[in-house]
Amino acid sequence: MGQGNRKKKKQKEEEKKKSQEIEDKMKKDLENQNKKIKLLVLGTGESGKSTFLKQLMILYKGGFGKQDKALYTTTIRSNLISHTKILIDAINELGIEVKSKSKKIMREFYEMEYYSAEDLTENVQSQITTLWQDPGFKEAYERRSEFQLPDTANFYLNNCERISDPKFEPTQEDILLCRIPTTGVNVIQFTVDDRPWQVVDVGGQRSERRKWIHQFDDVSIVLYVVATSEYNQKLYEDQTVNRMHESLILFDQTANSDLFKEKNCVVLFNKIDLLKQKIKNIDLKVCFPEYTGGKNYEQGCEFIKQKFLEVGRNTKRTIFTHFTSATDTENMRGVFDAVTTTVLEAELKTDGYI
């Protein structure tokens, strides 16, 4: 065979090989395109997991319809009454002084047994407003780390009159701040850039965590949510356990388990708006005695981040971190974009393209 023929044959073989590589890549790309991305959202109770899912509903599912808003209206009104009762209990327990008018209203609350959204009459709204204007109630709210009260209580109590209006329809902010404990498993599905997503949120309380194991199959990436502002608060389930300590323990148990030790993970450091205000008055030392950064927001953030990175020590995967407030929709869009990029890069690496 002449040199020219050998050259032509080699060229054809190279072209055929290149063509096959392109065909294989196109086939793989098509498979990836049709493959569902499964995002598992983990974290302790009240870390903000459900708020993240609500943001995905707003960004990729068209927000909330009339039926959803009706449900949230009922829940928000019930929350308003329950928050008031929690504050009344705390005032009695902590021995905080209130005005005589407030004492009378507090007695009425227990005698009438206000509990449900239907109890939020004009008279009850007036009573709640009067109580919230009492300096003793404001003091109780500032001492909420000594008892169990959602941080959003302040927002709803300030908007008591609007929420009590018979024509009240919850805003996007109202819904994002609404606290409904996750029980069992919540799943939402949507499509972004022709890729189907399945996002799974499971209950964060200890009693709910045993249900997580059924959601571990085929997980593409884990999103772990940390409430950065809860470093001086205790668990609902166990008043002797610090919430930040519990979050670190749970992260260690999940991130370093056999199921996830090689999975890329995004740690979402949430509630930074509350952290920024709290750390001005309460040193991070109350949670971590070894902390030396003082009442400095940036130093506190860096210290918390390093604590979680130390726990997620496996070198076979990457841990990405983001500081955010889950109630900020545009910020959440950026977080989800980062999660998407992480998943796509992992796919390219698996397929040998990077």
Please indicate whether residue 179 is annotated as part of the active site.
yes
Report which of 181, 230, 172 is spatially closest to residue 204, judged by C-alpha positions. Answer: 181
Distances from the Cα of 77 to the Cα of 87, 108, 120, 126, angstroms: 16, 18, 7, 14
Please indicate whether residue 46 is annotated as part of the active site.
yes
Q: Which of 151, 174, 201, 230 is catalytic?
A: 201
DSSP string, 91-120: HHHHT----HHHHHHHHHHHHHT--SGGG-
Q: Which of 130, 148, 198, 205 is catalytic?
A: 205
What contacts 58, CB < 8 A, 6 or more positions away? 64, 172, 329
- Two structure tokens written together for 84: 């008031």
| Phi, psi angles (nearest 5°) of residue 244 | -70, -40
CA 161, 163, 165: angle at the middle one, nearest 5?
Answer: 70
CA 319, 320, 326: angle at the middle one, nearest 5?
Answer: 130
Please indicate whether residue 119 is annotated as part of the active site.
no
Q: Which of 162, 179, 206, 333 is catalytic?
A: 179
Report which of 140, 138, 109 is spatially closest to residue 126, judged by C-alpha positions. Answer: 109
Report which of 75, 136, 78 is spatially closest to residue 105, judged by C-alpha positions. Answer: 136
Please indicate whether residue 313 is annotated as part of the active site.
no
In angstroms, the CA 146 to CA 339 distance is 36
Please indicate whether residue 125 is annotated as part of the active site.
no
What residues are labeled active site?
46, 51, 179, 201, 205
